[in-house]
Structure 1
Amino acid sequence: MPHRTRLPELPEPETFKRIKEQELFCVFKSSVFHQHKVTVGDIVQAEKLHRRDAGEKVVFGTVLLVGSKDFTILGKPTVPYAKVKATIEQQTLSQEMHVFWYKPRRRQQGFYRRRQHVTMLRIDEIVLTPEEDSTDPPPPKPVRLLDLWANRWLDPAEKEGIEMVQGEKEGELIPKTALIYDGSEHQPGSYHRRGLTSCYRYWPDPAASHWRL
């Protein structure tokens, strides 16, 4: 049905700069199936983020709604210029759940206890920048061929032993593996799962790499 009343106009970019981040709230996705309504300072229990440790900074790019007491922005399906920055507080297990299992043909049944791996997140900032480009930069090139994602976990002493060669630009040094392997994903969404991309994005975000992750 068409709107019978006039829709409110989107505030000017200068209006967003005057808004305090503590006054914003948003709905973002931390996995394919889970959504969270948060404000700055909230602690969220999300699905486990692989290869992440406590204290690391993460960014979520699939924001479905952003609002304050003055305005509300609805995504179609997402808000491309909005992001949520968070800090990983803990990688832990959820409380115990009793799961019932039953096999009708064998007439067997029972219970078992199960604990789910979860990640505790603290929301640091809700970024709203409509004047900036919303496209994500490409994932970094691999430093070692055997560990395509290990450049984020290498110690400085290990990075010193990596052989670097001259790149195409003058004065640019690139790892020798870049001459053999261009750094493309061998499977869609593998860099996203390992946390190599600039932010986590999930379906229905048009920029999501794979809907299963």
Structure 2
Amino acid sequence: MSSSSSSLPADIQEAAQLLREQKNHYAVIEIMGRSFLVTKNDIVVVDHLRHAQVGDILEFDRIREIGSMDYTLYGKPVVDPRMVRVRATVIEEPKSSEIIKIKFKKRKNYHRRLRYRHHYTLLRISEVEMLPAN
């Protein structure tokens, strides 16, 4: 056994091996404080990520749960990043439709119309997989 796998408890290693034998996996990942349940090829709409450009590949390390049809491995609070990998590609950075906020004060002749468009980032989940035991 190598040093990286020996640092994980035996029961977690056994559960991870059961998950590795399954075909399709899902993961619950945390992006900017929000949890998203994702599988491969999903498209996720998140608030604007300033550091990400279109075409960038992002790797997530805050994975709360990984599972398949038969087995699930919960993190306390997150799953060890040496066991699972979730990657996504930034595909678009759209804006919402225009949102108009009207402010006024009665009998004061105060009327304001505020307009803004919220920025989003679209991510395509390209990989959800269990890493091999070392």
Whether TM-score is above 0.5 comes out as: yes
- Aligned-partner SS, 1:15: helix
Structure 2 residue corresponding to 1:16, chosen from 13, 19, 24? 19
Q: Which structure exhibits the higher relative contact order, with contacts defined as CA atoms closer than 8 Å and separated by 6 or more residues? A: 2
Question: Pairwise mapping of residues 53-64 of structure 1 onto structure 2 (< 5 A)?
Answer: 53-64=53-64
CA distance in 1, matches of 2:126, 2:28: 14
Structure 1 counterpart of 2:3: none
Question: Pairwise mapping of residues 81-100 of structure 1 onto structure 2 (< 5 A)?
Answer: 81=81, 82-100=84-102
Tell me how many residue pairs correspond in the alignment: 121
Task: State which structure, 1 or 2, has the greater radius of gyration over its C-alpha atoms.
Answer: 1
Give the structure-1-normalised TM-score. Answer: 0.48
Structure 1 residue corresponding to 2:128, chosen from 126, 129, 132? 126
* Higher normalized strand content (fraction of residues): 2
1:28 aligns with 2:29: yes
- Contact persistence 2:15–2:73 (CA under 8 A): no
RMSD: 2.8
- Aligned-partner SS, 2:93: strand
Identical pairs, percent: 28
- Contact persistence 2:19–2:67 (CA under 8 A): no
- Contact persistence 2:16–2:73 (CA under 8 A): no
- Contact persistence 1:13–1:130 (CA under 8 A): no
Q: Structure 1 residues 71, 14: closer, same or farther in 2, change over 3 A?
A: closer
Structure 2 counterpart of 1:159: none
Give the structure-2-normalised TM-score. Answer: 0.72
| Unaligned segments of structure 1, at least 5 residues | 1-8, 133-213
- Aligned-partner SS, 1:59: strand
- Contact persistence 2:19–2:72 (CA under 8 A): no
| Unaligned segments of structure 2, at least 5 residues | 1-11
- Aligned-partner SS, 1:93: coil
Q: Which amino acid aligns with 2:128?
A: I
